[in-house]
Structure 1
Amino acid sequence: MRISFMKKQNQAFAYFLIGLGLYFLSQQFNIPYLPALALWPSVLVIFGLSLLLDRSKARNDDKPSLGAFLLLLGLHLHFINHLSFWVDHWSMYLILIGLSLLIGYQKTKRGLKLGVTLFIVGLFFLLSLTYLPFQEQIQSFIQNIESYWPIGLILFGSYLLFKK
């Protein structure tokens, strides 16, 4: 029984070593476009893939989001370096966390509300940064909130006072 436990425990590390070995071996063959990927985000992508592969086989795993997050983070960091149109803004990290929670939700059936919320909030801030008509709507919305926020506090306080 101890041997099977140790075998299961080392599978993610074995996948990581295989992926890392393939990565370094492919660098030795001077494959075109591969030197552009010779950055540390590639290690994040490989580690994220190895965790996702390992966790996809586990029946009662409660953390598949970690592998998804590392994979998405590594891809995001590569895209920042290699795609001129890719946005480097803090809202992308909210989107990545939200997406990884949604990927984890498929297996665990937990984290749906938080994943959707983070994704939508990140997308909201990203659009407010990059899409001019949306920026104008956001600014008018924020001006309305600044004008009427005390009414919102009164309503929320009343709700808390009278809810059963």
Structure 2
Amino acid sequence: MKKPPYLLSGMILFGFGIYFLLQYYHFSLFHGFYSWPTLFVIVGIAFLINGYAGKDYPFIFPGVLLTGMGIHFHIAQQLDTTIDISGIFLLLISIGLLLTYVKTGNGLFQGILFLAISLFLLFIDKLKEWMLNNGHSIAWMDQAWPYLLMVFGLYFLFFHKRK
């Protein structure tokens, strides 16, 4: 069965129409959500619906990424806080890869790898604090981890054997 060619575009346009209509009529229930992160969420949800309902599984990854970034920026605005955006971004990438893996069977290792890196980035301050409290030197940590990421990246690019 052929997939509808305009499913994603139709959902995005419909979502934007609802967004602008609610904004125009000053619908008070969604007062704090009339900002650009909401547009990310609308597009992301359209990608997710297209990915799952349309069985077009590669759309799951960008759907998770856009929906997650929109939700992250909404939460950051409401709490007036800063959470490490690189850690959140890598966490969303890992969730997208893992959800895509569930449907396609591809991307498990990459999803777990990005999950581990994102958790490291999100909790590096707590890890440093714990290491200092237990008498460990942490000077190497701030300097070494970017180089480790580069070495692993080069390994996967040039030396990892493909099936």
User: What interval of TM-score do these two structures reach, taking the shorter chain for normalisation?
Assistant: 0.7 to 0.9
Quickly say closer, same or farther: Cα 1:141–1:105, change in 2 above 3 A.
farther
Matched, 1:96 2:96: no
Indicate the residue corresponding to 2:120 in structure 1. Answer: 124
Counterpart CA distance in 2 for 1:71 and 1:43 is: 9
Paired residues of 1:79 and 1:86 also in contact (CA < 8 A): no
Q: Report the CA distance between 1:142 and its aligned residue.
A: 4.9
Indicate the residue corresponding to 1:62 in structure 2. Answer: 58
Counterpart CA distance in 1 for 2:28 and 2:34 is: 12
2:52 partner letter: S
Counterpart CA distance in 2 for 1:51 and 1:79 is: 21
Counterpart CA distance in 1 for 2:114 and 2:5 is: 31
Paired residues of 2:84 and 2:122 also in contact (CA < 8 A): no
Q: 2:35 aligns with which of 18, 30, 39?
A: 39
Q: 1:26 aligns with which of 15, 22, 25?
A: 22
Counterpart CA distance in 1 for 2:19 and 2:99 is: 25
Quickly say closer, same or farther: Cα 1:89–1:68, change in 2 above 3 A.
closer
- Comparing 80-89 with 64-73, which one deviates more in the overlay? 80-89
Q: 1:136 aligns with which of 129, 143, 152?
A: 129
Indicate the residue corresponding to 2:156 in structure 1. Answer: none
User: Structure 1: which 5+ runs fail to align?
Assistant: 147-164
Counterpart CA distance in 1 for 2:137 and 2:66 is: 35
Runs of 4+, deviation exceeding 6 Å: none
What SS class does the counterpart of residue 4 from structure 2 fall into?
helix
Quickly say closer, same or farther: Cα 1:20–1:118, change in 2 above 3 A.
same
What SS class does the counterpart of residue 8 from structure 1 fall into?
coil
Indicate the residue corresponding to 1:150 in structure 2. Answer: none
Counterpart CA distance in 2 for 1:33 and 1:57 is: 28
Indicate the residue corresponding to 2:111 in structure 1. Answer: 115
Pick the structure with greater CA Rg: 1
User: Structure 2: which 5+ runs fail to align?
Assistant: 144-163
* TM-score in terms of structure 2 length: 0.72
Q: Report the CA distance between 1:28 and its aligned residue.
A: 2.5
Q: Number of residue pairs matched?
A: 140
Q: Percent identity?
A: 27
Instruction: Give per-residue Cα distances to partners, 1:49-79, cap 9 Å, x unaligned.
Output: 0111112123353342111111111111222
Q: Give the aligned CA root-mean-square deviation in angstroms.
A: 2.7
